[in-house]
Amino acid sequence: MSQRRRRLRLGMVGGGQGAFIGAVHRIAARLDDRFELVAGALSSDPQRAQASAAEAGIARSYADWREMARAEAARDDGIDAVAIVTPNHLHAPVATAFLEAGIHVICDKPLAISLAQGEALARLAREKNRLFALTHTYSGYPLARHARELVERGALGEIRVVQVEYAQDWLAEPIESSGTNKQAGWRTDPALAGPAGCLGDIGTHAYQLAAFVTGMTPHALCAELHTFVPGRRIDDHVQAMLRYRNGARGMLWASQVASGAQNALRLRVYGTQAGLAFDQEEPNELWFTPLGGMAERVSRARVKSAIADHATRVPPGHPEGYLEAFAQLYKDAALQIEALNEGRAPPPESRLLTTVDDGVAGLRFIDAVLASSAADGRWQEIGAACSAGDG
Amino acid sequence: MSQRRRRLRLGMVGGGQGAFIGAVHRIAARLDDRFELVAGALSSDPQRAQASAAEAGIARSYADWREMARAEAARDDGIDAVAIVTPNHLHAPVATAFLEAGIHVICDKPLAISLAQGEALARLAREKNRLFALTHTYSGYPLARHARELVERGALGEIRVVQVEYAQDWLAEPIESSGTNKQAGWRTDPALAGPAGCLGDIGTHAYQLAAFVTGMTPHALCAELHTFVPGRRIDDHVQAMLRYRNGARGMLWASQVASGAQNALRLRVYGTQAGLAFDQEEPNELWFTPLGGMAERVSRARVKSAIADHATRVPPGHPEGYLEAFAQLYKDAALQIEALNEGRAPPPESRLLTTVDDGVAGLRFIDAVLASSAADGRWQEIGAACSAGDG
Amino acid sequence: MSQRRRRLRLGMVGGGQGAFIGAVHRIAARLDDRFELVAGALSSDPQRAQASAAEAGIARSYADWREMARAEAARDDGIDAVAIVTPNHLHAPVATAFLEAGIHVICDKPLAISLAQGEALARLAREKNRLFALTHTYSGYPLARHARELVERGALGEIRVVQVEYAQDWLAEPIESSGTNKQAGWRTDPALAGPAGCLGDIGTHAYQLAAFVTGMTPHALCAELHTFVPGRRIDDHVQAMLRYRNGARGMLWASQVASGAQNALRLRVYGTQAGLAFDQEEPNELWFTPLGGMAERVSRARVKSAIADHATRVPPGHPEGYLEAFAQLYKDAALQIEALNEGRAPPPESRLLTTVDDGVAGLRFIDAVLASSAADGRWQEIGAACSAGDG
Amino acid sequence: MSQRRRRLRLGMVGGGQGAFIGAVHRIAARLDDRFELVAGALSSDPQRAQASAAEAGIARSYADWREMARAEAARDDGIDAVAIVTPNHLHAPVATAFLEAGIHVICDKPLAISLAQGEALARLAREKNRLFALTHTYSGYPLARHARELVERGALGEIRVVQVEYAQDWLAEPIESSGTNKQAGWRTDPALAGPAGCLGDIGTHAYQLAAFVTGMTPHALCAELHTFVPGRRIDDHVQAMLRYRNGARGMLWASQVASGAQNALRLRVYGTQAGLAFDQEEPNELWFTPLGGMAERVSRARVKSAIADHATRVPPGHPEGYLEAFAQLYKDAALQIEALNEGRAPPPESRLLTTVDDGVAGLRFIDAVLASSAADGRWQEIGAACSAGDG
């Protein structure tokens, strides 16, 4: 224990000045001190790239991510992993370039802008035996992980009902038309965001969290996309009903026009013996209620569980938040990268890291919603995940 | 003001020993001191009827409700109104008998076990010019009424999203098969409850509350009924998506198998300018949040509004609950009955009382859900309410 | 069970038009249908008394409470009990007159305006063997009673810390000087309210609730009264530290100038094994947390306990409130009056009714606070309750 | 903006393996990327120091902090600042050594184990013109800072009542006697912790937060210390009443034996126009309620304020926590150190950093509590802060 591992070297593509998620990735990578950020292609505008890198204290700035992949792969002290924080349409080409160069990938979600792209990435990552982490932040919360464990060990009984929702209000008005909100601009532009707006941006988070906690994905859904804001070219609201193979039923709602909502991702799961509720805006607590019984407020850091301990830093009553959840993904990624680099199995406590397969599942969900909505809410089968050997 | 009106004379059909809602009606009728309960046919079993009436302090006990309608109509001091608290299948025949006898009706919901029955009742009530109050309790809460007023006066802007749900767990196990739970017995027996189980019992409450607050009913829905508990002959779970004429979207969920849930009726409404949330388990508060702004906890009795004042009894911080909401319906009914008896218009503050038309709307909703669910979730138009002149 | 007892006949002194607590007593007396209000001296102004009685539907109106005591005692169908809802200075003379007439007393708190008065009342009630109920409303809540039971059966271990507070804001400004607020007028007038303002009005509630739940009263206190509002003739704020014989420590705070507070009576008790918290503004829940463990939200009507069942009317998730808690005191009083009238022991479930002895304890507390505050916060012993035989 | 400043070089004294707060300081220093930790004397045991430094990735490990101060001062690339995270008794000697060496100090609280020590440190820091930051974490929360600003700009009116408390349960049992809990060991040992146990450990946090938000310190207090756990050599419970010069009143409670409590630091402030409440366990919200009005839940990152913006990293609904609050202190310290190093005034947004003067105020509070408690709760004046010129 007394010998400290070297920090892994991290590169970043995207995340220049004015971006939101790039800065979050940088804090998350730093928080548990397992990465140092040494290289970047932070913007497609070379000057902006340079200035952004200087501001972020990044030693090696590249004007082009293709060049970065080549150059870093060639260096003895090249990056171990790249964080991809571009708009969605670049996820696949950038990830492909770095995987081809033998560099591990940590990629923002959604994985890609088409299922075909996503499946290709999954195959490539397996072929190259590189880590492909997808940053579904909310599964980094210790109590989301504890919720999963409760389901897994049967504390809820057989799952019957899943209710998941993700509501925001930041796109309730046509702020993308101002031209000054970079975030709003690309997230509502199908060329950059892909065919799914709210659906891809937050609907996939809701879908992933439900799957993560319950250990089940629905086999069919019936959905309706809607665009409330006049002139918007992409959905800003999605509602869906879900069917699971075991007979469970579910509902999923995601909206970016829910006036007053901030970042209200909430999951409720009801089984034959108990129910649970988790709200990412209050991530230091989880509600567990037995059938006919009293609600228990499960507190982060009071849970006695290896899996929850692994994802917590400070004692009970010292709240942790979004950045710590995000950092958890980087911590797990570091553990897995070190193991891959050394040719050993990743440590079991890192196994909950979300991966390219979660991304593919998300893309299948997007496709099914698009199809059902286009068919006026016909029940639509959700494609099964491809087996590991299908590549 | 100094001259007190006489208390109205109330009769009751149903609500004998072992029933739940009968006792609630009796407290509600008494709470604001506008009714005295003087007659009853509390059970179809004559001995039980007699014993129940004695226990409830009711002077005139009848073995048969038909006889009661005739006899009370004939007396000078006969009842002004009858409260109907039987299982659902008797609502229509009992109400018909009392309306025919010229007696005002206060009826538990759902209104009837078929739309035809309900429409006939609506026509008859209009014909006879008698009050037909339907006890949708939750619209008796002052803050539900204030929520409605907020929408009405445009504080939310144009409504975009409606989310309503009603979750319970008391039927998560097949308790009806024990034979000892009277409630569970009739509520899961299609012969007594009608074709809708959870849908009729609590789904209609959710539907009504959403309509009450938003002032809108959806024109179409896409729904799925489900029965989770093996051997149960009726649905115990319903999920639906809603479309409104103004383009708004909605979701409705009702479940009686949601482990841990007590009586969790919750409504959220989002408009272009603000959102609101109301939870009947916390009826002394209402949440109002402007787009991009801070949530305001609106407190019962701190609201300055005639409509809310009319429905509150004690100062801020002195919680009121379910019985007070129920009593509000009786208070409004009394005001309307007195006005009808005296041939004058009912006082405006009583106008929010739910009526036979709300019941008909609920039956249309039930029919649409049954049809959509039977057609594997096809979008189904909801029949329009008949106009006042269609009788 | 099938034979109904007659309703007890109730009279009322005080509570005329414009009063708050009189109307509350009337609803509370009616709610569980064990009393009928038949006589009253509702105001010292004969016309107002008459008008108020008519409005409240009271058959026999008296201009004078002395006359009422005499006349009712003389009637065959005279009142069983009197509810005293006058300003504080009249509690003792009125109660004395009715006790002397052999009539049971239900009296608002505080018991009297001096300890001597209170002790005399306690002696008289015992001498006459009449019920003397003191309406400490908050001990009528089922979860306050359950909290008491938890302490009693040792679920908290040995009590170490008591934190109780009662905050309001309605007297934050000198509203008594307007002359139009009857409530504010007498409650801030030492001639009518006695020497203790906020201390007597709400401080005694806080003290009583803490004693009720813990089963302990402090033996000494160190206190400071304060008057914030310029021109006010009585305290509007009190803070105190408490010492208990078992070594426990406590704090008590009551304020009527706490801007934003409504009726925030909150109690927390910490023992060697667990802690609990109760907030009368959320009376349908109680928090119980073991040392180092998770908080459990104990829900009214999900508690399996005879004592809690006895004080609840509707199922879990159907909130009860202040009026139901108040009604509980009337229900318990009815049970005890019936027993006294019939010469039998009162039923055990009625034993938690607060009595004249609680009132005397409250007056001892008031005296100790006044003494300590006058002595610049010197620790002051609180007089021990007199034994039953000291009269 | 495009030119990045170099990271400041940080050293650490204390915080070796098994310590809690050292790891927290390291994350906090790293989070906003303004410091790199390059030197340390992490333990008085040389081997443990070496191993701890290696594990923490610290380049230069010293066996002795005196040696470290000398050596670092002598290096061109010596540390800019030292973080002191030892047990309390070492704060003063270590800080003195580094200040003498011209190195800025970031010190855990309480400042020292006697007022004389603390005052000497304050003088020395001024003499040497070095930063002396004291890590009162909770004043790093953006909403604690916003609360302060609300008071400052008069939104509450004149302050009348302050209620502050800090409850934990981790010392409810004599865990220090096990010998295995390092934390509990030194914190209950007067030789290492100083004469104040719970009082110094968390009572000072409560006192500081109240002062920080209200901008006022009480001039007198009346207090009682208590030790509940048998055999413990130091207080584990403190209660106090407070008087302020403007007539305001207050109460302070801190306990480490409050079964069920985690880290429950809560502040409520009531003024003539409004009240506010802040709970560090829910640091993403602040409650603001006008007199007679509705409570507003003020959300972190929805506040439009330079001071709050400066202390927030992620958008509304993305919770931040304890580590971010701690990081804020490091960020402010960095801003001030850079300014001091460059001989310019510190940027205004860094002005809320807690300093040696807050530490001295805390020691005056400790002295007053010790004196009042020893005198059986006599009201005790709290020494006024020395003026800047008294050194």
**Which string of b and e fits A91-106 if b means at least 16 CB within 10 Å?**
bbebbbbbbebebbbb
pLDDT band at B20 (very low <50, low <70, confident <90, very high): confident
Helix axes C91-100, C65-74, angle to 10 degrees: 20
Q: Which residues contact C153 (CB under 8 A, 6 or more apart)?
A: none
Interface test with C, best of B143, B320, B322 (most C CBs within 10 A): B322
- Within an 8 Å CB–CB cutoff, is residue D46 touching chain A? no
D302 interaction partners in chain A (CB closer than 8 Å): 262
Q: Which of residues 294-323 of B touch A (CB under 8 A)?
A: 295
B55 interaction partners in chain C (CB closer than 8 Å): 1-4
Lowest mean pLDDT among A84-98, B206-220, C13-27: C13-27
Widest Cα–Cα separation across chain B: 63
Q: How far, in Å, are C291, C319, D169, D175, D272 from residue D178 at the CA level?
A: 18, 47, 17, 6, 50
- Within an 8 Å CB–CB cutoff, is residue D260 touching chain A? no
pLDDT tens-digit profile of B358-371? 999 999 999 999 99
CATH-assigned architecture of domain D142-314+355-374: 2-Layer Sandwich (3.30)
State whether A263 and D24 contact (CB < 8 Å).
no
State whether A296 and C298 contact (CB < 8 Å).
no
Mean pLDDT score, A49-64? 93
Residue C178, pLDDT score: 87
State whether A260 and B172 contact (CB < 8 Å).
no
CB D284 within 8 A of CB D299: yes
Interface test with C, best of A296, A300, A304 (most C CBs within 10 A): A296
The DSSP-derived string for C136-182 is -GGGGSHHHHHHHHHHHTTTT-SEEEEEEEEE--TTSS-GGGGS--H
CA angle, D303 then D308 then D314, to 5°: 80
D299 interaction partners in chain B (CB closer than 8 Å): 294-295
pLDDT surpassing 80 at residue A280: yes
Q: Please report, rounded to a whole number, the percentage of residues in chain A having pLDDT higher than 90.
A: 91
State whether A294 and C297 contact (CB < 8 Å).
yes
Mean pLDDT score, D3-27? 89
Interface test with A, best of C143, C282, C285, C297 (most A CBs within 10 A): C297
Query: What's the CA gap between C277 and C205, in Å, rounded?
Result: 16
Give the CA-trace dihedral at C328, C331, C333, C337, to 10 degrees.
-170
Residue A2, pLDDT score: 44
Chains with ≥3 CB–CB distances under 8 Å to C = A, B, D
Average pLDDT, chain C: 95
Q: Mark out the alpha helices in A103-181 (DSSP H runs).
A: 115-128, 142-152
pLDDT surpassing 70 at residue C2: no
Interface test with C, best of D166, D246, D259 (most C CBs within 10 A): D259
CB C184 within 8 A of CB C272: no
State whether D161 and C258 contact (CB < 8 Å).
yes
C247 interaction partners in chain D (CB closer than 8 Å): 226, 228
Mean pLDDT score, D29-40? 96
Average pLDDT, chain A: 95
State whether A260 and B241 contact (CB < 8 Å).
no
- Kindly report the CATH class assigned to C8-137: alpha beta
pLDDT tens-digit profile of B56-85? 999 999 999 999 999 999 999 999 999 999
Query: What's the CA gap between D391 and D119, in Å, rounded?
Result: 9
C67 to chain A, minimum CA–CA distance in Å?
53
pLDDT surpassing 80 at residue A233: yes
Lowest mean pLDDT among A104-118, B156-170, B303-317, D226-240: B303-317
* Option in B2, B24, B321 nearest C321 (CB): B321
CA-wise closest residue to B336 among B131, B67, B53: B131
At D355, the amino acid letter reads T
CA B126 from centre of chain? 19
pLDDT band at C385 (very low <50, low <70, confident <90, very high): low
Query: What's the CA gap between B161 and A259, in Å, rounded?
Result: 9
State whether B297 and D302 contact (CB < 8 Å).
no
B226 interaction partners in chain A (CB closer than 8 Å): 247, 249
- Within an 8 Å CB–CB cutoff, is residue C3 touching chain B? yes
- Within an 8 Å CB–CB cutoff, is residue C293 touching chain A? yes
Q: How far, in Å, are B109, B166, D160 from residue B203 at the CA level?
A: 11, 7, 49
Query: What's the CA gap between B86 and B44, in Å, rounded?
Result: 10
- Do the domains at C8-137 and C142-313+356-374 have one common CATH topology? no
Please give the CATH superfamily to which domain B142-313+355-374 belongs. Answer: Dihydrodipicolinate Reductase; domain 2 (3.30.360.10)
Give the DSSP H/E element, type plus range, for residue A193: helix A190-193
D257 interaction partners in chain C (CB closer than 8 Å): 160-161, 270
- Within an 8 Å CB–CB cutoff, is residue A290 touching chain C? no
Q: Which residues contact D333 (CB under 8 A, 6 or more apart)?
A: D81, D104, D106, D131, D133, D350, D353
Mean pLDDT score, D144-159? 98
For residue B2, give the chain C residue with the closest CA. C51
Give the DSSP H/E element, type plus range, for residue D167: strand D159-167
Sheet order of strands, B60-61 included: B60-61, B35-41, B8-13, B81-84, B104-107, B132-134
pLDDT surpassing 70 at residue A170: yes
pLDDT band at B387 (very low <50, low <70, confident <90, very high): very low
* B-to-D residue pairs, Cβ atoms closer than 8 angstroms: 24
Q: Which two tokens stand for residue D163?
A: 């209620």
pLDDT surpassing 90 at residue D388: no
pLDDT band at A1 (very low <50, low <70, confident <90, very high): very low
State whether C263 and B316 contact (CB < 8 Å).
yes
Interface test with D, best of C164, C246, C259 (most D CBs within 10 A): C259
Q: Which two tokens stand for residue C26?
A: 């009337």
Give the DSSP H/E element, type plus range, for residue D18: none
Q: Which residues contact D204 (CB under 8 A, 6 or more apart)?
A: D109, D110, D196, D362, D365, D366
Interface test with B, best of C318, C320, C328, C331 (most B CBs within 10 A): C318
pLDDT surpassing 90 at residue D4: no
Q: Which two tokens stand for residue C366?
A: 């008031």
State whether C295 and A292 contact (CB < 8 Å).
no
At B352, the amino acid letter reads L
CA angle, B279 then B284 then B286, to 5°: 55
For residue A223, give the chain B residue with the closest CA. B241
* C-to-D residue pairs, Cβ atoms closer than 8 angstroms: 136
State whether B297 and D294 contact (CB < 8 Å).
yes
**Which string of b and e fits C214-224 if b means at least 16 CB within 10 Å?**
bebbbbbbbbb
pLDDT tens-digit profile of D218-268? 999 999 999 999 999 999 999 999 999 999 999 999 999 999 999 999 999
D299 interaction partners in chain A (CB closer than 8 Å): 262
Sheet order of strands, A104-107 included: A60-61, A35-41, A8-14, A81-85, A104-107, A132-134
Numbers of helices and strands, H then E, in chain C: 13, 15
Residue C145, pLDDT score: 98
Please give the CATH superfamily to which domain A142-313+354-374 belongs. Answer: Dihydrodipicolinate Reductase; domain 2 (3.30.360.10)
Domain boundaries, chain D: 8-137, 142-314+355-374
pLDDT tens-digit profile of A323-347? 999 999 999 999 999 999 999 999 9
C52 interaction partners in chain B (CB closer than 8 Å): 2
Average pLDDT, chain D: 95
pLDDT tens-digit profile of B247-289? 999 999 999 999 999 999 999 999 999 999 999 999 999 999 9
Residue D182, pLDDT score: 84
Residue D3, pLDDT score: 55
pLDDT tens-digit profile of D74-116? 999 999 999 999 999 999 999 999 999 999 999 999 999 999 9
Q: Which two tokens stand for residue D133?
A: 């930051």
State whether B323 and C323 contact (CB < 8 Å).
yes
Pairing of strands C264-271, C274-279: antiparallel
State whether B51 and C2 contact (CB < 8 Å).
yes
C379 to chain D, minimum CA–CA distance in Å?
7
* A-to-B residue pairs, Cβ atoms closer than 8 angstroms: 136
Query: What's the CA gap between A374 and A377, in Å, rounded?
Result: 7
pLDDT surpassing 50 at residue C389: no
C228 interaction partners in chain D (CB closer than 8 Å): 160, 247
CA angle, D30 then D36 then D37, to 5°: 95
Q: Which two tokens stand for residue A103?
A: 């560099």
Q: Which two tokens stand for residue C43?
A: 């105001």
Residue B182, pLDDT score: 84
CB C98 within 8 A of CB C69: yes
D296 interaction partners in chain B (CB closer than 8 Å): 294-297
CB C137 within 8 A of CB C25: no
Q: Evaluate whether the domain defined by C142-313+356-374 bears CATH number 3.30.360.10.
A: yes
State whether B296 and D298 contact (CB < 8 Å).
no
Residue A389, pLDDT score: 35
Mean pLDDT score, C275-297? 98
Residue D151, pLDDT score: 98
Q: Which two tokens stand for residue C261?
A: 């507070």
Interface test with B, best of C5, C24, C262 (most B CBs within 10 A): C262
Residue C3, pLDDT score: 55
Q: How far, in Å, are B139, B284, C24, C306 from residue B322 at the CA level?
A: 11, 11, 17, 22
pLDDT surpassing 90 at residue D389: no
CB atoms under 10 Å from CB of A351, counted, come to: 12
State whether B379 and A376 contact (CB < 8 Å).
yes
State whether B302 and D293 contact (CB < 8 Å).
yes
State whether C296 and A295 contact (CB < 8 Å).
yes
State whether C292 and A298 contact (CB < 8 Å).
no
